Structure 1
Amino acid sequence: MAMSSLFLISVLISLGTSIGIVQAGNPNYRDALAKSILFFQGQRSGKLPSGAAQQITWRSNSGLSDGQLAKVDLTGGYYDGGDNVKFNFPMAFTATMLSWGSLEYSKKMEPQLTNTRAAIRWSANYLLKCARATPDRLYVGIGDPDVDHKCWERPEDMDTVRTVYWISPSNPGSDVAGETAAALAAASMVFRRVDLKYSKLLLRTAKKVFQFAIQYRGAYSDSLGSAVCPFYCSYSGYKDELVWGAAWLLRATNDDFYFNFLKSLGAGDSPDIFSWDNKFAGAYVLLSRRAVLNNDKNFDSYKQQAEQFMCRILPNSPSSSTQYTKGGLIFKLPESNLQYVTSITFLLTTYSKYMSATKHRFNCGNLVVTSSTLRNIAKRQVDYILGVNPLNISYMVGYGPRYPKRIHHRGSSLPSLASHPKTIGCEAGFQPFFYSSNPNPNLLVGAVVGGPNQNDGFPDDRTDYSHSEPATYINGAIVGPLAYFANLN
């Protein structure tokens, strides 16, 4: 029997009898890794580079006036999903996860490391502008989401108001500021050996933004209201971003200030989820690194929290609070479930990596957990996304023989400027393009969509955004696991 078949059967047995057998596959992780990074070129806002630096050629310049309403330059960054709004909260989380993946798996990312750094720099450059343009302001979004969502038009044709949103001492946002600081701090480490001047600028700015988050506390949802809710409300509050931001600045600086600040915050939540909104689990795994790898007792409490999180994810754990579909996929929430799958999978592979280095193990009740326990569950999630599932469909566009063809994405679903130079207005894109049953004319290579429902079903319907829309934070989290499995013997 082939090794892949043996592995799959053992994993399915470990997941319990309620999960059905699916056909074994042999995913090409290196191909998936390259495509997952290429996706970010399709999400770029601003003036695009030429030649090999912009391989998704159906995209063109867009959002070139972003920031003008506030008399600042806020061009660049990423559109978060299939719309034309720049939401900094999820964008910063995406940048943090890309940077974390690069830091953990840089040796495994070749030859994609250069492209990964380019993806990180594209968002970091924008976040720097947002943090440095105006004293006592952090710009946190561009474009009125309510107006934007009434249109179906290419980013290149945008004629909606590009409203500028910011937080300030009188309108705080510790959550978005904490996440922005985390992103800049993490990115500073990525560029430390390749561009020291840029790295120092990133770290210096991260410190200032985090100080702003600490000094002026409050949720950005309260300050900005309908500009961010219900789209990217900070449902979990802002304490998790303060923990997350401090954890990243501690790793970047080794300054006791951040460790003492973490202690002053006290205990955090005990989550069974990790996402752009709730960062506690990610912070626990990040901080546990010192406890597991260096046996630093000061970080034991974070190691315990990280392992309690794992126990809530593992299917055979007595404290598990995680559902799995019959096909073996982690299922957390109906809308865009794969965002939670990719983020949790990142934590599984990363903690498995830490455990493997020191042969560490822990218990969930009577269940003994080793590094391979976490790795096997993580591999099952990645393989499912890449096509080893009941439908034999890859949820990454352009990967494998079958993948979503009608993704909820304006630029992908509308003809490119090259094929249709005439402007497509705000409402003109709905008919005949949005409601068409035809495949999208432009391939957004590497895009991971929201994914299947709890019954492993997937309609491939453009109008069904909760399952067919890609997002930067889904891809930002899968890059690390793909690099891990691409080079795992």
Structure 2
Amino acid sequence: MAPRPPPIHRLCVRILLVSFVAAHRLVPPCSGSFYDFPFPAAGKRHDYRDALAKSILFFEGQRSGRLPPGQRASWRGDSGVSDGAAAGVDLEGGYYDAGDNVKFGFPMAFTTTMLAWSVIEFGDSMPRDERRHAAAAVRWATDYLLKTLAHPGVIFLQDHDCWERPEDMDTERTVYNVSAGRPGSDIAGETAAALAAASMVFRDDDPGYAETLLASARKAFEYADTYKGAYSDDPDLRAGGCPFYCDFNGYQDELLWGAAWLRRASKDDTFLQYIQNNGKTLGAEDSSNEFGWDNKHAGLNVLVSKEFIEGKVLSLQSYKEFADNFICTLIPESSSPHITYTPGGMLYKPGGSNMQHVTSISFLLLTYAKYLSKSSHTVNCGDISIGPVTLQRQAKRLIIC
């Protein structure tokens, strides 16, 4: 069975800065072949700043737990304040996944990673207030993720399914966890990535909190690498998480993804060596034109290639090549087999919730363009060479579509 279509708050995180950045960078208008279809009529402009503000505000509407005094979504009230009580732990907080009040650690951690990555790469382009609200959205998630790691040898991932107002919930809140006996390298690796990425968001404004996040990320990664396995291979966890949140793609990408973010956040050569030594066995070169909560390979390659592009770690050249291969599948003029587009120019993949692919891939296009723009590197797609302007243009076209 196909994975559950991602609820809207995971889509918002991936579109969060894409639209704003595309609109506020100097991106030439589309022209030529594939790009010859209409932009909005003259005088009609997309209000990207307003879209950005609403995307961040949406997170406040998804908050679980006791709401803070500065809560702007005033129509929401406290909910889920006793989450975790059934297992004798405190799991208050975090975000609901959708209207059924699920809190599930794996996709929530990916949401956190992507939101943090957005702030890291493009936060300087945001209005000051929105940058502050985005950091608060990251912290609401990381405060919860820290709780899931608070008990040695166990990582909690809560699940529940109840279609009602969260303020009115009176049914049992089921609690699941992974441990040495039933490993979950996927959830632990993604949690490590989320906490490591978030540590960079708070490094300047709250260095103590940033250090706590980074230390917890190391702890989560150590668990992921020591007790290898996918959480959905366990019968009890499979019953609670599947068919919607099974790990369809395996846990190997989350190990590399977690190590890559720990390398980025800590500059620790231990994680660089991990990436170099385990890339092949953990599937870094796996070809895929997908990037989302279950498949991190494309994002991993874009992230890791940054050090090679900057000329700092030449041994990571293969990750640049893997990232290029991914990018070439997105360029219609490329001779590589590429992803399908609708007649109007929208990236299309079969299955539910197509926008999850559009938004996440747009983000990678803009991020890779940013890395390339600070170097002489391009993307080699057979007989054509692609530069950062083309990647920016493609991302903007996808957003406007």
TM score, norm. by length of structure 1: 0.72
Letter of the 1:41 counterpart: E
Could you report, residue by residue, the CA deviation over 1:409-429 in whole angstroms, capped at 9, with x for unpaired residues?
xxxxxxxxxxxxxxxxxxxxx
Give the partner amino acid of 1:266: G
Q: Distance in 2 between matches of 1:72 and 1:265?
A: 35
**SS of the counterpart of 2:31?**
helix
Specify which of 4, 7, 10 is matched with residue 31 of structure 2: 10
Larger Rg: 1
Q: Which one of 308, 316, 325 corresponds to residue 299 of structure 1?
A: 316
Q: Find the partner of 1:114 among 117, 132, 142.
A: 132
1:126 aligned residue: 144
* Alignment of 1:137 onto 2:154: yes
1:447 aligned partner: none
Which of 279, 302, 326 aligns to 1:266? It is 279
Residues 323-382 of structure 1, C-alpha deviations (whole Å, 9 max, x = no match): 111221111233111111111111000000111112421221112201011101100112
Work out the CA distance in 2 between the residues paired with 1:263 and 1:8: 39
Deviation at 1:179, TM superposition (A): 0.0
CA distance in 1 between counterparts of 2:379 and 2:82 reads 53
Q: Contact 1:22–1:327 at 8 Å: present in 2 too?
A: no
Q: Is the 8 A contact 1:360 1:371 kept in 2?
A: no
Q: Give the Cα–Cα distance (whole angstroms) in 1 for the partners of residues 30 and 299 of structure 2.
A: 30
Deviation at 1:82, TM superposition (A): 2.6
The alignment's C-alpha RMSD in Å is: 1.6
Which structure's relative contact order is higher, taking Cα pairs within 8 Å and 6+ residues apart?
1
Query: Retained in 1: the 8 A contact 2:190–2:254?
Result: yes
Structure 1 window deviating more from structure 2 (152-161 vs 346-355): it is 152-161
1:167 aligns with 2:186: no
**Partners of 1:310 and 1:200 in 2: CA distance:** 34
Residues 62, 156 of structure 1: 8 Å contact kept: yes
| Counterpart AA for 1:127 | L
AA at the equivalent of 1:14: F
The answer to whether the 8 A contact 1:66-1:142 is kept is no
Contact 1:15 / 1:315 at 8 angstroms: preserved in 2?
no
- Structure 1 residue identity aligned to 2:389: S
Match of 2:57 in 1: 38
1:246 counterpart (234, 244, 259):
259
Structure-2 residue corresponding to 1:462:
none
Describe the SS at the equivalent of 1:294: coil
**Whole-angstrom CA distance in 1 between matches of 2:39 and 2:126:** 29
Structure 2 match to 1:186: 197
**Aligned-partner SS, 1:166:** strand
Give the drift of 1:293: 2.0
Provide structure 2 residue ranges, at least 5 long, that are not aligned to the other structure: 1-26
Name the counterpart of 1:95: 112
Paired residues of 1:182 and 1:246 also in contact (CA < 8 A) = yes
**Secondary structure, counterpart of 1:278 in structure 2:** coil
What SS class does the counterpart of residue 139 from structure 1 fall into?
Answer: strand
| Structure 1: gaps spanning 5 or more residues | 1-5, 385-489
1:106 CA displacement: 1.9
- Match of 1:308? 325
User: 27, 37, 46: which one pairs with 2:46?
Assistant: 27
What secondary structure, in the 3-state scheme, does the structure 2 residue paired with 1:129 have?
Answer: helix
Conserved 8 A contact 1:175-1:220: yes
1:165 counterpart SS class: strand
Task: Return 339-348 or 311-320, whichever deviates more.
Answer: 311-320
* Structure 1 letter corresponding to 2:171: T
The aligned amino acid for 2:321 is Q
**Does the aligned pair in 2 maintain the 1:176–1:220 contact within 8 Å?**
yes
| Distance in 2 of aligned mates of 1:135 and 1:355 | 42
Q: Which amino acid aligns with 1:122?
A: W
Cα separation, 1, equivalents of 2:330 and 2:30: 20
Contact 1:41–1:119 (8 Å) recurs in 2: yes
Q: Show the counterpart of 1:466.
A: none
Structure 2: distance between partners of 1:22 and 1:121: 37
One-letter code aligned to 2:31: S
Q: Render the CA deviation track for 1:134-185: whole Å, top value 9, x for unaligned.
A: 2110001232x4xx3xxx3111111232000100000100001000000001
Report Cα offsets for 1:192-228 as digits up to 9, x if no partner: 1111111111111110110000000100111211211
2:361 and 2:390 mapped to 1: Cα distance? 14
Question: What does the per-residue CA deviation read over 1:229-284, in whole Å, with 9 as the maximum and x for residues that have no partner?
Answer: 11111111000000100000011111121112122323221211000000011110
Find out whether 1:350 has 2:350 as its counterpart: no
Residue 22 of structure 2 corresponds to none
**Partner residue of 1:226?**
239
Q: How far 1:74 moved relative to its partner?
A: 0.3
Letter in 2 for 1:292: I
Conservation of the 8 A alpha-carbon contact between 1:9 and 1:21? no
Range moving further from structure 2, 53-62 or 112-121: 53-62
**Counterpart residue identity of residue 330, structure 1:** L
The partner residue of 1:200 within 194, 205, 211 is 211
Q: Identity over the aligned pairs, expressed in percent?
A: 51
Structure 1 runs (4+) deviating above 6 angstroms are none
Q: Please give the alpha-carbon distance, in whole angstroms, between the structure 2 residues aligned to 1:350 and 1:74.
A: 34
**1:83 Cα deviation from its structure 2 partner:** 2.0
Within-5 A mapping of 1:389-404: none
Which amino acid in the other structure matches residue 179 of structure 2?
S
Query: Offset of 1:26 from its aligned partner?
Result: 2.1
CA positional deviation for 1:22: 6.0
Distance in structure 1 (CA, Å) of the matches to 2:53 and 2:84: 32
SS in 2 for 1:10: coil
Q: Specify the SS of the correspondent of 1:86.
A: coil
CA–CA separation in structure 2 for the residues paired with 1:166 and 1:293: 40
Q: 1:9 to 1:97 in 2, by over 3 A?
A: closer
Quote the offset at 1:21 in angstroms: 4.3
Q: TM-score, normalising length from structure 2?
A: 0.88
Query: Which of these residues, 196, 206, 210, is aligned with residue 221 of structure 2?
Result: 210
- Whether 1:364 and 2:385 are equivalent positions in the alignment is no
Q: Distance in 1 between matches of 2:380 and 2:364?
A: 17
Partner of 2:4: none
